[in-house]
């Protein structure tokens, strides 16, 4: 997929990005297709909008919403493929193609959002006689459209709209650059080990991967990068403290002023925050935190902050106990009397081994990739009665696989699975839509998802083995995928994950993680990579005993991120005017220090630059919404408790009847009704925080 062509005048009829008859033609799509395809699609959309807005007849669902939806879907699908390639194949040609069209696409959507004539058409339909006979699902779609137009500046005075549009374009470009800087800074650093003694403690498979990386570069020794499959084993297992410190410092200062100036995300952060603040003021809100919460379950920033502070008050005593135990152990058993951040993962792993007599590395040997996938698919089959079968389809990398989901022989949807880390692939893990379920004038379309992770790949003739954390991540992303794929809503705007409140969208993903701790599930998804033996019950019992090991510290870390994000977008005012307006990085770091003083128990060094790689809020959709993880965790833990209740005394929580109800009330309805209504329909009551605290071991006897 790295090849390209200088021909930018490709015949539109032969452009694979314009082919919506089936799956994306990844074997044919090239960077040179992007500009002609997107310009044609945007022009068609613009022509349609002009026709619809100039029509003097009262709009109806069929005459107005349906053509808008179908034309918009084509634009979204094509641009979605381009964005996907930018994430999983970030070579210069694809980066250039994506960035070349990003301003035009951003400008188009910004203009769309504050097109007053279009807004008036939606509003006329929303407020007119056609609204009442519509189904509740279609009424909700129109409610969302009116709300989103207002948030997109449709009601702004004409003289303010160009500025609002410019803000949207700049934010898109800055977000893309933010991600690229992180990827470039991550790929630029490597620790080269030539003395085998310096590898002491690092697992054999991680060393084998490092050796292969060095050989690929034509060099002797071992190459450890900042990619997660290489970075984490060093931080967790390397006896060489100096190596851990170097790796930690390199990772903690990525894309900051402490590295290459051209990769410094600091100026981008300051500008992003200033633009978001300006956007919120134009819309009549006090700050961006208020704007962010309009389409969410939570009502106000104060409500969210109160929720976070309540959790922090309950979690911090457990976190302080965790840290005290870690420091005592590091001092007495490891000779580390001044526990530093680069020692924490290492000391924690040693403490876990000492206390529970097992290591993550030992557990990892029981999770070879093929067995894990069989186990995941088995859980999905048991809960929802669907089958997952391999299929062939063009993809962007030979390592990618493709599957179909069937229910009683009938196609439900498809998904791509791209599990292993690559240098040309953005870090992290995510689910995204390649195609959404909907029923239109051309018939019904089944959904297609991308499931993307960055796990270690196979080494030699051995399959990849996953840590239990990797398994949790896979189940998490599969939960998002099921939300997208198992929808039974035919209206595109609220099908699957579309239209779901952002602070509820993590419910199905976090819900799935719980099954990774169940014995009857693990029995079916483990086989030692060498012997084939399943996970021993004794080792499982140790894992359960250690499940909430240091959960207090992990919880306050997430709360720190959430509170920092919320307060960042609610309290910091930019300095300067116009294009020079910025939130100073110094203020940002001061706020982070203040949040840490309230919540954290382990304070990183002053040179740590966490914000510079906080992609969720500066290049993702989580700005003033990172709290959603904890908010949804309350919902997911409570939902899983229904399976605990149903499975009590049965030896298995894979209860098909409860699974069918979860599908019907949560997954199937997508965004067609408020998330709280869906939760109450499944659980029969409002959500409670008790199950989350219990699952995390943060309850007192």
Residue that has been written with the tokens 């993702």 in this structure:
620
Catalytic center residues: 477
| Residue 151 shares a structural domain with residue 25 | yes
Residue 298 located in a structural domain: yes
| Residue 127 shares a structural domain with residue 73 | yes
The tens digit of pLDDT for each residue in 221-232 reads 999 999 999 999
Alpha helices, DSSP H only, in 442-580? Answer: 468-485, 507-513, 519-523, 537-545, 551-571
Q: What is the pLDDT confidence band of residue 691, given thresholds at 50, 70 and 90?
A: confident
| Residue 21 shares a structural domain with residue 129 | yes
Question: Helices 92-113 & 161-188, crossing angle to 10 degrees?
Answer: 160
Parent domain of 124: 12-113+115-155
CATH code: domain of residue 605: 1.10.1370.10
pLDDT of residue 13: 64
| Residue 49 shares a structural domain with residue 141 | yes
Q: For residue 12, is pLDDT > 70?
A: no
Residue 408 located in a structural domain: yes
Q: For residue 6, is pLDDT > 90?
A: no
| Residue 353 shares a structural domain with residue 437 | no
Long-range contacts of the stretch 1-8 (C-beta < 8 A, 24+): 1/26, 1/85, 1/89, 1/91, 1/94, 1/396, 1/397, 2/89, 2/91, 2/93, 3/30, 3/93, 4/30, 4/31, 4/32, 4/93, 4/97, 5/30, 5/32, 6/32, 7/32, 8/32, 8/35, 8/36
CATH code: domain of residue 462: 3.40.390.10
What H or E segment, with its residue span, contains residue 443? strand 443-445
The tens digit of pLDDT for each residue in 507-535 reads 999 999 999 999 999 988 999 999 999 99
Total domains present in the chain: 4
Alpha-carbon torsion angle 416, 417, 421, 422, nearest 10: -30
Q: What percent of the chain has pLDDT over 70?
A: 98
The tens digit of pLDDT for each residue in 583-636 reads 999 999 999 999 999 999 999 999 999 999 999 999 988 999 999 999 999 999
Residue 460 located in a structural domain: yes
- Bridge partners (DSSP) of residue 223 are 192
HSE-up of 75 (CA within 13 Å, CB side)? 23
Mean pLDDT of the chain: 94
- Dihedral-angle region of residue 170 (phi above 0 means left; psi in -120 to 50 means alpha; beta otherwise): alpha
Residue 640 located in a structural domain: no
CATH code: domain of residue 37: 1.20.1050.40
Q: Are strands 387-391 and 443-445 parallel, antiparallel or unpaired?
A: unpaired
Q: For residue 378, is pLDDT > 50?
A: yes
Nearest Cα residue to 487 out of 373, 405, 418, 409 = 405
């Amino acid at each position: 997929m790295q090849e390209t062509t200088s021909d930018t005048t490709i015949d539109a009829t032969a452009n694979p990005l314009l082919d919506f008859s089936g799956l994306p033609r990844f074997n044919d799509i090239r960077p040179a297709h992007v500009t002609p395809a997107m310009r044609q699609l945007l022009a068609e959309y613009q022509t349609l909008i002009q026709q619809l807005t100039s029509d003097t007849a009262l709009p109806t669902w069929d005459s107005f919403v349906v053509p808008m939806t179908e034309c918009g879907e084509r634009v979204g699908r094509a641009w979605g493929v381009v964005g996907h390639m930018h994430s999983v194949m970030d070579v210069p040609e694809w980066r250039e193609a994506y960035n070349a069209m990003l301003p035009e696409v951003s400008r188009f959507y910004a203009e769309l959002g504050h097109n007053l004539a279009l807004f008036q058409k939606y509003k006329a339909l929303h407020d007119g006689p056609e609204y009442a006979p519509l189904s509740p699902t279609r009424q909700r779609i129109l409610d969302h459209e009116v709300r989103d137009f207002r948030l997109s500046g449709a009601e702004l005075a004409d003289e303010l709209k160009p500025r609002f549009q410019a803000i949207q374009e700049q934010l898109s470009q800055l977000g893309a650059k933010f991600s690229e800087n992180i990827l470039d800074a991550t790929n630029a650093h490597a620790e080269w080990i030539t003395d085998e003694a310096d590898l002491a403690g690092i697992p054999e498979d991680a060393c084998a991967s490092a050796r292969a990386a060095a050989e690929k570069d034509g060099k002797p020794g071992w190459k450890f990068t900042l990619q997660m499959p290489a970075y984490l084993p060093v931080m967790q297992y390397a006896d060489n403290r100096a190596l851990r410190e170097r790796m930690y410092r390199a990772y903690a200062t990525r894309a900051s002023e402490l590295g290459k100036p051209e990769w410094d995300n600091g100026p981008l952060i300051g500008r992003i925050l200033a633009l978001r603040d300006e956007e919120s003021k134009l819309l009549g809100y006090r700050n961006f935190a208020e704007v962010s919460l309009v389409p969410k379950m939570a009502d106000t920033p104060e409500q969210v902050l109160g929720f976070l502070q309540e959790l922090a008050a309950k979690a911090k005593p457990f976190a302080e106990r965790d840290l005290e135990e870690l420091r005592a152990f590091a001092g007495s058993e490891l000779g580390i009397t001044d526990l530093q951040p680069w020692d924490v993962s290492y000391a924690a792993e040693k403490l876990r081994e000492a206390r529970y007599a097992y290591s993550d590395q030992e557990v990892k040997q029981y999770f070879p990739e093929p067995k894990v996938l069989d186990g995941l698919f088995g859980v999905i089959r048991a809960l929802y009665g669907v089958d997952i079968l391999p299929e062939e389809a063009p993809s962007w990398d030979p390592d990618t696989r493709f599957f179909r989901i069937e229910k009683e022989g009938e196609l439900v949807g498809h998904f791509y699975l791209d599990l292993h880390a690559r240098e040309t692939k953005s870090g992290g893990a995510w689910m995204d839509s390649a195609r959404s379920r909907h029923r239109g004038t051309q018939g019904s379309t089944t959904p297609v998802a991308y499931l993307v992770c960055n796990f270690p790949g196979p080494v030699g003739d051995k399959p990849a083995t996953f840590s239990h954390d990797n398994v949790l991540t896979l189940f998490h992303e599969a939960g998002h995928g099921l939300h997208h794929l198992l929808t039974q809503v035919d209206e595109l705007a609220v099908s699957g994950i579309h239209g779901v409140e952002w602070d509820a969208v993590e419910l199905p993903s976090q819900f799935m993680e719980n099954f990774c701790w169940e014995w009857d599930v693990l029995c079916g998804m483990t086989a030692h990579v060498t012997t084939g033996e399943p996970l021993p019950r004794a080792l499982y019992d140790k894992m359960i005993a250690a499940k909430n090991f240091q959960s207090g510290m992990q919880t306050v870390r997430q709360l720190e991120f959430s509170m920092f994000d919320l307060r960042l977008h609610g309290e910091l005012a930019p300095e300067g005017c116009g294009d020079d307006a910025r939130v100073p990085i110094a203020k940002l770091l001061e706020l982070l220090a203040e949040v840490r003083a309230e919540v954290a128990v382990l304070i990183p060094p002053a040179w740590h630059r966490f914000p510079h790689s906080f992609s969720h809020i500066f290049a993702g959709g989580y700005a003033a919404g990172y709290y959603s993880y904890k908010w949804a965790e309350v919902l997911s833990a409570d939902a899983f408790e229904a399976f605990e209740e149903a499975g009590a005394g049965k030896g298995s929580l894979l209860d098909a009847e409860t699974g069918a109800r979860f599908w019907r009330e949560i997954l199937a309805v997508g965004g067609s009704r408020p998330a709280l209504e869906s939760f109450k329909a499944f659980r029969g009551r409002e959500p409670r925080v008790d199950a989350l605290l219990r699952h995390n071991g943060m309850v007192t006897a």
